Amino acid sequence: MNAVVRLYDRFTPLAALADHAQPLLLLALRVFIAWVFIKSGLTKINDWDTTLYLFTEEYSVPLLPPAVAAVMGTLGELALPPLLVLGLAGRFAAAGLFVVNAMAVLSYPALWGFDCPAAIQSHFWWGGGLLLLVAFGPGALSADRLIGRRCADG
Domain ranges of the chain: 23-153
**Side chain identity at residue 67, one-letter code:** A
Residue 17 half-sphere exposure toward CB, CA atoms < 13 A:
5
Question: Mind listing the pLDDT tens digit for each residue in 96-154?
Answer: 999 999 999 999 888 887 677 888 999 999 999 999 999 999 999 999 999 988 898 86
pLDDT at position 7 is: 60
In this structure, which amino acid lies at residue 21? A
Determine the pLDDT at residue 153. Answer: 81
Say if CB 43 and CB 35 are below 8 A apart.
no
pLDDT digits (tens, 9 = 90+) for 52-109: 999 999 998 989 999 999 999 999 999 999 999 999 999 999 999 999 999 999 998 8
The confidence score (pLDDT) of residue 90 equals 97
Tell me the CA distances in angstroms from 150 to 81, 143, 146, 154, one per residue in order: 24, 10, 6, 6
pLDDT at residue 112 in the model: 80
Using DSSP, state whether 16 is helix, strand or coil: helix
Q: How confident is the model at residue 4 (pLDDT cuts 50, 70, 90)?
A: low
Cα–Cα dist 141/24, whole Å:
7
pTM tops 0.75 = yes
Which are the contacts of 35, defined by CB distance < 8 A and separation ≥ 6? Answer: 81
